[in-house]
């Protein structure tokens, strides 16, 4: 992808220098101290008030276990300085995000709607999002509560080394897919799917609804690729297709457990993910992405 001369987005929130976030639990030491502390506090009226205050404080962003876990009181070591490779990836993410802003702003304007640009948060190891605590193992994700995409840049190395899906446009596909979820949020699809999952009978039915959501996001990524065609180089679309195939549910399940359980799919098979990306890429129009949500 020809990206080096493209404008950079102003919607990047770089949290890498803050180091990993602490989720509720504060490490093993905090967990060891948590149970006896709770038992002690429950035994008195004042203690119960303290517990309530602790819960409120947690939801306001402060981890009360930090007071119990002596390890959390130790100053954290200086965060690792970003390598040149990581900084190049950060610049690439910013350039791709800017292109998604331009494309979706144009498409929304054609529909007589306003496109609200999302933020993209770069983090390391773990992060506290509007949707709760998440580790890098979760992979890139979109949080509708704060309208932000969260990305640990190490995922790009994992995409290449673990999933055998190298290339800058494989990375661009991942970003465009998460922005696709933002589009779904703006048009009400995510809320609609959430309500449908709440009334679904059984986990497999809820999973099937989520698959439709993910496949539509793949299709939206294809729409974006269609509209930045002039920036593409030979092999770029194949890189995106390789990535879509590599992170299909059937492929991941085979790698993890040696067999496939379709009822447990949450993102779609490799074939489905490639097909829907290709459909969006060929059409370039929103109406091509009706996955049945």
Percentage of residues of the chain with pLDDT beyond 70: 80
Flag whether pLDDT at 209 surpasses 80. Answer: yes
Q: Is residue 36 part of a domain?
A: yes
Q: What is the DSSP string of 52-108?
A: HHHHHHHHTT--GGGGT-GGGGSPPPPPPPPPHHHHHHHHHHHHHHHHHHHHHHHHH
Q: Which of 73, 91, 116 is the last residue of a domain?
A: 73
Flag whether pLDDT at 149 surpasses 80. Answer: yes
Average pLDDT over the chain, rounded to whole? 88
Flag whether pLDDT at 10 surpasses 60. Answer: yes
Greater pLDDT, 120 or 34: 120
Flag whether pLDDT at 248 surpasses 60. Answer: yes
Q: What is the model's pLDDT at position 41?
A: 54
Give the Cα separation of 235 and 227 in Å (integer): 17
Q: Is residue 4 part of a domain?
A: no
| pLDDT tens digits, one per residue of 16-52 | 988 777 655 444 444 443 445 555 556 665 655 656 6
Q: Are residues 118 and 230 in the same domain?
A: yes
Q: Are residues 100 and 232 in the same domain?
A: yes
Q: What is the model's pLDDT at position 79?
A: 61
Q: Are residues 126 and 259 in the same domain?
A: yes
Give the Cα separation of 243 and 154 in Å (integer): 15
Which residues fall within 8 angstroms of residue 177, CB to CB, at 6 or more apart?
A: 217, 218, 220, 221
Predicted confidence band of residue 81 (pLDDT cuts 50, 70, 90): confident
Flag whether pLDDT at 61 surpasses 60. Answer: no
Q: Is residue 269 part of a domain?
A: yes
Q: Is residue 6 part of a domain?
A: no
Distance of CA 89 to the CA centre of its chain: 17
| pLDDT tens digits, one per residue of 178-191 | 999 999 999 999 99
Predicted confidence band of residue 80 (pLDDT cuts 50, 70, 90): confident
Flag whether pLDDT at 74 surpasses 50. Answer: no
Q: Are residues 161 and 69 in the same domain?
A: no
| pLDDT tens digits, one per residue of 216-239 | 999 999 999 999 999 999 999 999
Total domains in the chain come to: 2
> What is the number of residues in the chain?
293
Q: What is the model's pLDDT at position 20?
A: 79
Give the Cα separation of 257 and 266 in Å (integer): 16
Q: Are residues 61 and 110 in the same domain?
A: no
Q: Are residues 35 and 143 in the same domain?
A: no
State the residue range of the domain holding 53: 22-73
Which residues fall within 8 angstroms of residue 88, CB to CB, at 6 or more apart?
A: none
The pLDDT of 99-115, averaged and rounded, is 97
Q: Are residues 108 and 68 in the same domain?
A: no
Flag whether pLDDT at 263 surpasses 90. Answer: yes
Q: Is residue 151 part of a domain?
A: yes
Q: Is residue 13 part of a domain?
A: no
């Amino acid at each position: 992808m020809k990206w080096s001369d493209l404008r950079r987005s102003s919607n990047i929130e770089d949290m890498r220098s803050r180091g990993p976030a602490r989720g509720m639990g504060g490490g093993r030491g905090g967990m060891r101290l948590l149970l006896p502390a709770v038992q002690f506090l429950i035994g008195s009226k004042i203690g119960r008030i303290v517990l309530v205050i602790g819960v409120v404080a947690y939801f306001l962003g402060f981890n009360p276990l930090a007071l119990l876990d002596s390890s959390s009181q130790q100053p954290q070591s200086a965060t690792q300085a970003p390598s040149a490779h990581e900084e190049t990836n950060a610049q690439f993410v910013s350039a791709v995000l800017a292109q998604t802003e331009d494309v979706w702003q144009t498409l929304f304007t054609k529909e007589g709607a306003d496109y609200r640009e999302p933020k993209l948060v770069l983090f390391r190891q773990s992060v506290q999002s509007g949707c709760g605590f998440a580790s890098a193992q979760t992979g890139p994700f979109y949080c509708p509560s704060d309208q932000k995409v969260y990305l640990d840049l190490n995922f790009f190395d994992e995409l290449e080394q673990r999933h055998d899906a190298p290339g800058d446009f494989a990375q661009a596909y991942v970003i465009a897919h998460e922005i696709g979820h933002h589009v779904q949020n703006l048009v009400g699809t995510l809320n609609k799917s959430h309500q449908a999952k709440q009334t679904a009978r059984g986990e497999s039915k809820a999973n099937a609804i989520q698959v439709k959501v993910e496949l539509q996001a793949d299709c939206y990524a294809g729409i974006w690729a269609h509209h930045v065609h002039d920036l593409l180089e030979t092999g770029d679309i194949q890189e995106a297709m390789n990535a879509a195939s590599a992170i299909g549910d059937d492929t991941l399940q085979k790698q993890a457990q040696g067999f496939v359980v379709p009822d447990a799919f949450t993102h779609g098979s490799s074939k489905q993910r490639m097909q829907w990306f290709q459909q969006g890429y060929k059409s370039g129009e929103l109406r091509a992405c009706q996955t049945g949500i």
